Amino acid sequence: MQKTFTLSGQIVDVVAGKIFPGKVVVTDGKISSVSQCEVVETQFILPGLIDAHVHIESSMLVPAEFARLAVVHGTTATVSDSHEIANVLGLEGVDFMINNGKLSPFKFHFGAPSCVPATGFESSGAVIDSSQIEQLLKRDDIFYLSEMMNFPGVIYGDAEVHQKLYFAKKYNKPVDGHAPGLDSENIKKYASAGITTDHECTSLAEAIDKINSGMHILIREGSAARNFDALVNLLATHPEKVMFCSDDKHPDDLVAGHINLLVKRAIKSGYKPLDVLRACTLNPVRHYKLSCGLLQTGDPADIILVDNLKDFTIRQTYINGESVAVEGKSLLATFEYDAPNRFVASAFSTSDLEVKAGKGLLKVIQAFDGDLVTEKILVSPLISEGNLVSDIQNDILKITVINRYAPSKPAIAFIKGFGLKRGAMASTVAHDSHNIICIGTNDADMVTVINSLVKNKGGIAVTDGQNLDILPLPVAGLMADTDGYAVADKYEHINEKAIALGGTLEAPFMTLSFMALLVIPELKLSDKGLFDGTKFAFTQLFE
């Protein structure tokens, strides 16, 4: 028996580029007709929104839980890079994400992680080589080659990197990019290797350089990196080359909104509604060949209803004709599943965090709010009993990264920008290898949060010196295994606890998670030591 229903209102046709009054008839999950006619309803009928690049793991939710929260905001699909869990579990992690996503009607489009590990300068839980990349790209449930972060390998002809690019071309799968700060000449080399997108632009000039080399620009607005204001004018100059993405979205931010917030901001700023909406519907569907409906006859009925294009309040969300969210309430179910993990590290003591003073000025990582890029600064160190210690007064705090896949000594450096006046914070969400990362004002508190993560085999934790708060992340040390809204509440509570330590960052845990990301310059810390991203080599602690 056929299931048919009709929606009436102002139809937004992103393909034809027009808005008109009419009716959409849905039969058995597909659009059977779209007709223009006079209607009483004033609601707008649009295709579902698409996040063109997101690491689901960064929401600390498994895919099915991510979907429960995202559909409320009109998101019906993502282009998802499972790079994070792949660094922990390899192909097992990729399969977990795909299979968990299939529990939901939400349309996840996963890629083959191209850089596992991201570099050879850190310890990860797995390696995915070019032969495994080929096996992934052969699959119908793998839609693209995920972000190629090893841009030096692309530019300078690394054989393994180019073998992965070859397989993407062989199987006709697009390749995502990740190339911050390249000059014009190297951008051309990078793009000519077949890489078609970039989400790391921080300036309009950089974005246009990449567009002129044939790339599409993903305007990113996530929990840590926010480039919307810098890049939004591309909607006026190069609308066909633009997509919207979040990249990394923490759970409390996902509760507040998703791609719908970018749509609302762009339209409110005066950009043409159809150009804005195409950036999160038509453009990603065409570029990645996605299985999403665009409100055309015969398409899957992936539809959202909004009150108007100014306020852009999501009234209802449909996927394949199934109502999945109504008036801010998700209708999707929560599922049970096994939680894979890989965690070897054992408990630590304060003596493990001691580091002897050296001669000269101390190299310090300078972190910035809302930015993945850091700088190197030189300071006179604070020394106690021959050891380097945190200089709270000058916001020079000890940072450590600890290999969680094998017994090892902590790597230790110093960082400025977090502003903690007491206590410590730690996480096993530490891009890209997801080792334990910790910042603190003293070794005792650092050991407390580190050992709480070891005990729980992953999570985020904070202590003020007396009380300990932890959000366990038993799924690969990256994701929780509970209700998404409960996770968001707990994360918000822990984030507030970190800020209450005196911190000045809006999202301290998100910023912390990028302090081991070696492919983003300038100075970062891996479990093997302090790393200079401009020279792509380890560096000494003292200048």
370 pLDDT higher than 90: no
* E strand map for 396-493: 397-402, 411-416, 424-427, 436-440, 459-463, 468-472
In percent, how much of the chain has pLDDT > 70?
100
Q: What is the pLDDT of residue 336?
A: 87
pLDDT band at 38 (very low <50, low <70, confident <90, very high): very high
Question: How much is the mean pLDDT over the chain?
Answer: 95
Q: What is the pLDDT of residue 1?
A: 65
Q: What is the pLDDT of residue 505?
A: 87
By C-alpha distance, which of 415, 469, 424 is closest to 447? 424
Q: What is the pLDDT of residue 317?
A: 98
Instruction: State the pairing for strand pair 175-177/142-148.
Output: parallel
Rounded Cα–Cα distance for residues 459 and 46 (Å): 38
427 touches 453 (CB < 8 A): yes
Q: What is the pLDDT of residue 504?
A: 82
pLDDT, tens digit, 9 for 90 and up, residues 170-204: 999 999 999 988 899 999 999 999 999 999 998 99
pLDDT, tens digit, 9 for 90 and up, residues 402-420: 999 999 999 999 999 999 9
- Angle at 324 (CA atoms; ends 321, 329), nearest 5 degrees: 150
91 pLDDT higher than 80: yes
Average pLDDT over residues 443-453: 98
Q: What is the pLDDT of residue 521?
A: 87
Rounded Cα–Cα distance for residues 31 and 302 (Å): 9
Average pLDDT over residues 57-86: 97
Q: Hey, what's the torsion of the CAs at 161, 165, 170, 175, to 10 degrees?
A: 150
161-170, 292-301, 339-348, 393-402: least confidently modelled range: 339-348
**Lookup: tokens for 280:** 């999160």
Structural domain boundaries of the chain?
A: 48-291, 350-538
C-alpha pair distances (Å), 102 with each of 90, 95, 106, 133: 19, 11, 8, 21
454 pLDDT higher than 80: yes
pLDDT, tens digit, 9 for 90 and up, residues 512-523: 999 999 988 899
- Interacting residues of 385 by C-beta distance below 8 A, sequence separation 6+: none
pTM of the shown model: 0.93
**Lookup: tokens for 278:** 């195409």
503 pLDDT higher than 70: yes
Average pLDDT over residues 494-516: 91
Average pLDDT over residues 285-292: 96
Q: What is the pLDDT of residue 149?
A: 87
In percent, how much of the chain has pLDDT > 90?
90
224 pLDDT higher than 90: no
Judged by DSSP in three states, 484 sits in: helix
pLDDT, tens digit, 9 for 90 and up, residues 95-141: 999 999 999 999 999 999 999 998 889 999 999 999 999 999 999 99
312 pLDDT higher than 90: yes
Q: Architecture of domain 48-291 in CATH?
A: Alpha-Beta Barrel (3.20)
Angle, in degrees to the nearest 10, between helices 484-500 and 63-70: 90
282-286, 356-360, 393-397, 444-448: least confidently modelled range: 356-360
89-93, 223-227, 456-460: least confidently modelled range: 223-227
527 touches 434 (CB < 8 A): no
Average pLDDT over residues 329-358: 94
Q: What is the pLDDT of residue 506?
A: 83
Rounded Cα–Cα distance for residues 447 and 436 (Å): 11
Classify residue 72 by its DSSP letter: G
**Lookup: tokens for 152:** 């030096």
